[in-house]
A and B are shown apart, each in its own frame.
Chain A
């Protein structure tokens, strides 16, 4: 069975500080990977997707970047956090041709 793990579960960070959120998928080779952002009480906004190692497509510009250093790993980062980065970050995977997303448990970020 496939599992998806996100880390950290939650973080409180200062404005201007760097951020790194991680996501690992086990039990599935060559998945499509996605990062979503959810403001408190809001809907989900797709940030990035990746269909293969080393290739990441940006969907919206939020002063964030993403990388896929390994087949099973997806990293979301920024060098300088903004207050507007606060929210819930969700990683998800799908098969190459599939439309169904399988989500991780999310990482909650509070920027102060």
Chain B
């Protein structure tokens, strides 16, 4: 069965600190993986996506994520966070067969302290 686990419901970091948000997936086939961000009372915006190739993918606003097939992980990172990065981050899994049904993780609420 397909699943996505974000083990950290809430993460708090200080502005300027580095960040890692964890994501583990379960899928027997070739996964398509995404990170989306949701700012308060808004829809979701795509940060980055991984289909194949280089396991480190770059996204918007300095975010990057690293795919690991051996660890079934797709962790999101940022070298230096800004207070405006405070939001909810969702890790998302799509099967290679199409986007008909994406599996969303439970989300991680990131709070950046000034």
* Contact of A101 with B42 in the complex, beta carbons under 8 Å: no
Is B99 in the interface zone, CB < 8 Å from A? yes
List A residues 74-106 near B (Cβ within 8 Å): 90, 92, 94, 97-106
In the complex, the answer to whether A43 meets B105 with C-beta atoms within 8 Å is yes
Distance A92 CA – B100 CA, assembled complex (angstroms): 12
Q: How far is the CB of A102 from chain B (nearest CB, A)?
A: 7
User: Nearest Cβ distance between residue A58 and chain B, in whole angstroms?
Assistant: 11
B56-114 interface (Cβ within 8 A of A) = 90, 94, 98-102, 104-107
Tell me if A57 counts as interface (CB < 8 A to partner B). Answer: yes
Q: Is A108 in the interface zone, CB < 8 Å from B?
A: yes
B106 touches A99 (CB 8 A): no
Q: Which of B32, B42, B101 contacts A105 (CB 8 A)?
A: B42
User: A100, B34: Cβ atoms under 8 Å?
Assistant: yes
Question: B42 — which chain A residues lie within 8 A by C-beta?
Answer: 105-106
Contact (Cβ within 8 A) B101 A90: no
- For the complex, give the distance between the alpha carbons of A45 and B107 in Å: 12
B residues whose Cβ falls under 8 Å from a Cβ of A: 32, 34, 36, 41-46, 49, 51, 90, 94, 98-102, 104-107
